Structure 1
Amino acid sequence: MDKAVTAGHRKFPLGCEISGLVLVCRYLLQPKGNGNKSSKPDDLGSLRLNVTYTEDNVLPSVCYTPLRTLLLKFPEVKPISASAAHILGDICRERYEAVLPVVRLLLHHNRLVPFVSAIAELELTQTQEANTIFRGNSLATRCIDDMMKIVGRSYLTVTLKPVLDEICESNKSCEIDPVKLKEGDNVEVNKENLQQYVQKVFSSITQSSVSCPPLMCDVFRSLRQMASKRFPNDPHVQYSAVSSFVFLRFFAVAVLSPHTFQLRPHHPEPEISRTLTLISKTIQTLGSWGSLSKNKLSSFKESYMYEFFKSFQEDKCIEEVKKFLDEISSNVNKESSGVEDSVVLKEGEVHKRAQGRKRIGKKNFKKRWLRVTNRELSYHKHRGKEALCVIPVKNILAVEKLEENAFTRKNMFQVIHGEKPLYIQASHCVEASEWIEVLSQVSRCNPGRLSTFHPSAYLSGSWLCCKGIGENLPGCRPCSTTMLVNIQLDIDCDREIEKIFSLFSSNYSKLQKMEDACASIAVYQGPQKEQEDYSLFTIQDPKETFRTIQDIRKVLADLQDQHVAISSSIAAHYGSLDNPIVGKTS
């Protein structure tokens, strides 16, 4: 076996490829010197291990079709608590990681937003006070937490990593607790250092709305609408419904433990960790300022934190928080909300195709001045002239590249809105990419965005790309944002469903208890056993829930039979997990 030796460690290729077949060999790891205890402590180096062991016997994809179908049919199941996905969350309530495979599966199939909206609405019906909204460890909060960790990883990197690197590398003293001050520390200097760090983190967050992933915006918008509907007399709840996630459960947690989000390579040193703790606590409070009433400083438990927060301009922070939350969750037109006036994001000369023309030729394209603001896209005959056409940003459904064969022109893109697509040619490829980026960013939170598009034009009664007939025919290619999400996540659905099968199997006794509870409630019109037997389950419709559990049990039994059949046909070969190779690797 070939081996590559570098300073401090040795790398062994554990697999080899023969005739297209990948053979995986496993070797028994032995101590240094085959366990020779005569080695001196000074001769031993230090070793840091990050070990993850996962054993999933994944079946062929077709085997998981019934369970996949059962999990994805939740929109047809009423109420949502009777769906298979919700039942899994109920019986695995004490296992936080149990929600992750469901979230990943729904993300891959673009079904997460409706599921989260449904379970969040169910939780809201059980929430009695607005100030306790989404504060518990419920199925909805766990799903949204996992979604943010998966989808928002690059968002955190762009927003927080530069400032966290600066904080960790400069390592200025920021302790403001008089009890924890070191000898020679100046509390006023420390307070100033901490305030500078907090302001940098806070500004990075509140100015990051343009980088917030569209999927997160969709979830936040849904939460905001449902919270306002549930508590119509509370003007702050629309903000607290969003800030409870984006500030408390996302940014504040990432600041507190940056290494767990791959923002830093290692766990920070104790002094830096203390600084990050103070920053995280401050960010949580600043993030909640925009969603709570005034005179909140009296609620601080620590007197030193009370004094520290007095140095912040509360009204200014509230305005910045609300502006940020509006940008990532609101459907309200920015012009009418008074957030800010129209801001020019990009403008320049382009060639625009005349709308409604069927012929392809040079005369179809006219040189125009294109201008995009945070509110509208417009084109003009010349710069400074009155707009020939204005497209509100909120009406943009997709911005995509156009194939060259559409009009035999390079560097073209299309803006898809309520009417016919607007076809535009930029002067060069860099200019085209810049237009696509700025238009995609400014319209990223629009409701009703398209998931598919046609990369070519509709001419002579059919689409050039797919030959489909009908101008309103759905697109033949996934939009770049949807495709990008699937590529970045790289989700193996069969593996995720296998994990879900394992979770159902390991919690089968709870599934049976839930089935018994449904039968008892349906037959006797109420629980006949001790109340604790039912308290962990959400059973709104016992008959519908009972039917779903019956379907789950049948699917689990079939999958178990297939596992047994396949396992019995596989013999443990030399070099496998069950029969590892023993001996020196050299």
Structure 2
Amino acid sequence: MAKRSTLFIRIVEGKNLPIKDITGNSDPYCIVRIDNEAIISRDDVIGKVSISKEALVVKPQGLDGWMNLTEIDPDEEVQGEIHLQVALLGAGDIPRKLRCRVLEARDLAKKDRNGASDPFVRVRYNGKSQESTVVKKSCYPRWNESFEFDLDDNSTDSLLSVEVWDWDLVSKNDFLGKVLFNINRLQSAQQEEGWFRLGPDKPKHSQCDLFLRPSLGSLRLQLRLRDETVLPSIHYQPLTELLCRSVKTHFSGNWPDLIMLIDETTTSENRQEVATNLVKIFLGQGLINEFLDVLFKLELEKTTEPNTLFRSNSLASKSMESFLKVAGMQYLHRLLGPIINRIFEEKKYVELDPNKMELKEAGCSGLHRLQTEADVIQQSSSLLQSYLSELMAAILQSSSFFPLLLGQAFQQLYQRVQARFPDPEYRKAKFIAVTSFLCLRFISPAIMSPKLFHLREKHADARTSRTLLLLAKAIQTIGNLDTLMCCSKEPWMVPLQPAIQQGIAQLKDFISCLVTIHDSDALSLQTNMSLQCDSMEKEGFLFLHKTKDKCILKTTPFKKYHVALSKDKLSYSRSQHSKKSLFISLPEICAVEKVEEKCFGSANVMQIISSNDSGQQETLYLDCKSVNELNQWLSALRKACSHNKNTISCYHPGIYKADRWSCCHQKEKTDPGCDKTRHGVTLQEWYDPLDPDLEAQLIYRHLSGVQCALRDKYYELIKQDEVDDTDTDTDPKKVDGLTTLFKTLQDLHDAHAAVEKEELLKNKNIFLELKA
């Protein structure tokens, strides 16, 4: 049994945002941060919205509304904690002292360009202040210094202030946070010790100033905090079996089934979440294509106009979209990576819309002339055609590495639509059904926002973003298989019409090839993929650190090694052709996991936990160049170790440093771990694998919340079926299906109630023991 807290955030829209660009607009995007993380960005920060956990806890139904942006004050942006010991010394005739012992701090904000800070502590009392030494380049400093002040019983100032600052040689020091102590509260306890959360400084703006400052605009947000108790796997087996049975028996006429009921009763507010949960459940059960095929069939039965097919946010559309992101992300990176990188590196000015065009001087020295509109259009269309040609060529060549399960899903979709709309006038419908997902919901969004698809680590600048948008529009037009509609709405796209027309023909050829894989070919392809997985080899230069010691002491422990993964071992040496190398046998690997960014100041570090001959665990840390490389190595190693028997169930996402784990602060080096390991591999891709118990728990929660709607829809469908059937007697098997579902949900409800009762009794016993 495990506890899972999930925060759902939907950023809906913004309004009245201030102008930040010389064009008279802004290119806004949002960053979501948790737990008082400091706001630091090279871009122009417009403002922030802060919401406390307490505010969400009292609103279990969630928050939905417009929230005003507030100003960013560097002295208000703090994070982290500090370990302090504050005590009163002396009694009687001995002069009383106030002693503050500053031990250490953790998770401080990064204020310097090197990804860390140079923190020191300033302790203030009764008009006097003392400072600690500066710890260079650390967000987890240790001071272990004591400061004493003469205690003045007559002073009106009863506060002790402990401030943390980032030291800077040239510019002013940056405030990192502070803790205030009421000395009067110490009179009885005499001493107080522990970890204290750093707080912000006093606001610099008075209440009157709030009315004088310009409005920063508003964001409409939807937020909901949900705590889940995930029961042991055995409790979810009946529900999972019902879902699988619904998929398997749907085409045998056993309906109305569970998938149909979920499709009919899921609302737009929770459709995306339900779709994602179902996709992951059926992926884990090996029935994803069967599940998607049921949704295709249900969608086609409700559709009379093929031009609107899969264009709405139905359960089928959302499920296919989620499936694409899980099963096709590696394909997407291989397909789009080169062209996206080229656009980011070239930073060419591209514009076709005369209303948004910027005309600049052109020509060599002494012969300057103003660019004409025709010049810009000609140059822009030439560049866009070049990008488009490169991308379409890549798509045509990608059939050889197109994911097998995706290909099978598109083949099913293509055949279903062809059977539903066989008339010649609808001959494009089967192609558009595929492109509506592949182009409009996958490739085009990734081109527009490459950071959201992990293609780039940062958002594009305004110029690059415009180029990406225009290229995405071209791909959308190709995906719609219609050049006239786009050019009629946006006539400035006409210069791209020949390239788009050629792209449509190429895309149709690609889809025709994709959906003509026969069963024997698919089996052969599956076998080849399995063989490739078994004999997987990967190599490259990475920064590596291996620790057998009690803790990590070096500031920069990583050294460059050539790392190679073969079918039986992971070896590493200082050069590619070195005869002297070290290795880890793959069966000895217990876990392959990511490492928290705060541990080494890098978001691309992974750890390989292995067990040596004596049974002791060792950890190898690898620092990758990018998030893509990190994910690829995670994927390769997890695949290679997927059948290991000595895997561990928990691990530490942090490092053991300063006699404790940075993630959970446990002091035992051999502590089993504080987070769940992720051993499985989803679809031979490099996304984190599935958690079937959590997904089943989330589906249970959804079904429990719509039981009335499920019952009403169930009997409505049965009644409709009886009208169409000559036999007027209700099939008892149909009613039994609903009874089985509700009994399964009730059993899960009872299991949760028993756990909650046990926890209440446990807490009560703890309270009684403490009281005693």
TM-score by length of 2: 0.46
Q: What is the CA–CA distance in structure 2 between the aligned matches of 1:115 and 1:209, rounded to whole Å? A: 24
Aligned partner of 1:157 in structure 2 is 333
Structure 1 residue 329 displacement after superposition: 1.9
**Matched residue pairs, number?**
401
1:32 to 2:200 alignment: yes
1:505 to 2:704 alignment: yes
Secondary structure of the residue aligned to 1:82 is: coil
Q: Which moved more, 1:257-266 or 1:62-71?
A: 257-266
1:119 to 2:295 alignment: yes
Q: Which moved more, 1:125-134 or 1:272-281?
A: 125-134
Structure 1 residue 572 displacement after superposition: 10
Structure 1 residue 287 displacement after superposition: 3.1
Aligned partner of 1:226 in structure 2 is 416
Secondary structure of the residue aligned to 2:348 is: coil
Structure 1 residue 54 displacement after superposition: 5.5
Q: Which has the higher contact order (CA 8 A, sep 6+)?
A: 1
The one-letter code of the counterpart of 1:508 is Q
Of 67, 70, 78, 2:239 maps to 67
Give the 3 Å change call, closer, same or farther, for CA 5–395 of structure 1 in structure 2: closer
1:330 to 2:522 alignment: no
Contact 2:477 2:500 in 1 (8 A): no
Aligned positions of 1:152-191 closer than 5 A: 152-184=328-360, 186-191=376-381
Structure 1 residue 517 displacement after superposition: 3.3
Of 439, 444, 457, 1:247 maps to 439
Aligned partner of 1:552 in structure 2 is 741
Aligned partner of 1:567 in structure 2 is 756
Give the 3 Å change call, closer, same or farther, for CA 332–512 of structure 1 in structure 2: closer
Aligned positions of 1:17-416 closer than 5 A: 31-33=199-201, 36-37=202-203, 55-74=227-246, 75-77=248-250, 78-79=252-253, 82-94=256-268, 95=270, 96-184=272-360, 186-234=376-424, 235-289=427-481, 296-297=483-484, 300-312=487-499, 314=501, 316-331=502-517, 398-399=527-528
Unaligned runs of 5+ in 2: 1-82, 84-103, 117-137, 142-193, 207-222, 361-370, 537-565, 568-642, 644-679, 725-729, 764-772
Structure 1 residue 492 displacement after superposition: 0.7
Kindly indicate which of the two structures has a greater share of residues assigned to helix. 1
- Which protein is bigger by CA-based radius of gyration? 2
CA deviation map 1:439-477 (0-9, x unaligned):
xxxxxxxxxxxxxxxx9xxxxxxxxxxxxxxxxxxxxxx
CA deviation map 1:248-274 (0-9, x unaligned):
221112112222212222443343333
Secondary structure of the residue aligned to 1:263 is: coil
Secondary structure of the residue aligned to 2:457 is: coil
Q: What is the CA–CA distance in structure 2 between the aligned matches of 1:191 and 1:127, rounded to whole Å? A: 38
Q: What is the CA–CA distance in structure 1 between the aligned matches of 2:305 and 2:327, rounded to whole Å? A: 30
Contact 2:388 2:499 in 1 (8 A): no
Give the 3 Å change call, closer, same or farther, for CA 231–558 of structure 1 in structure 2: same
Structure 1 residue 573 displacement after superposition: 9.4
1:495 to 2:669 alignment: no
Q: What is the CA–CA distance in structure 2 between the aligned matches of 1:91 and 1:84, rounded to whole Å? A: 11
Q: Which moved more, 1:112-121 or 1:101-110?
A: 112-121
The one-letter code of the counterpart of 2:709 is K
Contact 1:297 1:309 in 2 (8 A): no
Q: What is the CA–CA distance in structure 1 between the aligned matches of 2:685 and 2:444, rounded to whole Å? A: 27
Secondary structure of the residue aligned to 1:312 is: helix
Structure 1 residue 280 displacement after superposition: 1.0
Kindly indicate which of the two structures has a greater share of residues assigned to strand. 2
CA deviation map 1:121-150 (0-9, x unaligned):
232233334433333322222211110011
RMSD (CA atoms) = 4.1
CA deviation map 1:21-80 (0-9, x unaligned):
xxxxx98855335xx33699xxxxxxxxxx996532101111111111111111124547
Secondary structure of the residue aligned to 1:121 is: helix
CA deviation map 1:381-404 (0-9, x unaligned):
xxxxxxxxxx989866623559x9
Unaligned runs of 5+ in 1: 14-25, 41-50, 334-390, 405-409, 412-428, 431-454, 456-480, 527-540, 575-586
The one-letter code of the counterpart of 1:191 is S
The one-letter code of the counterpart of 2:249 is E
Structure 1 residue 229 displacement after superposition: 2.0
Structure 1 residue 283 displacement after superposition: 0.6
Contact 2:110 2:139 in 1 (8 A): no
Give aligned-pair identity as a percent. 24
Aligned partner of 2:602 in structure 1 is none
Contact 1:159 1:204 in 2 (8 A): yes
Give the 3 Å change call, closer, same or farther, for CA 257–90 of structure 1 in structure 2: farther
Structure 1 residue 171 displacement after superposition: 2.3
Secondary structure of the residue aligned to 1:485 is: coil
Q: What is the CA–CA distance in structure 2 between the aligned matches of 1:200 and 1:80, rounded to whole Å? A: 49
Contact 2:265 2:710 in 1 (8 A): yes
Secondary structure of the residue aligned to 1:73 is: helix
Secondary structure of the residue aligned to 1:55 is: strand
Give the 3 Å change call, closer, same or farther, for CA 501–111 of structure 1 in structure 2: same
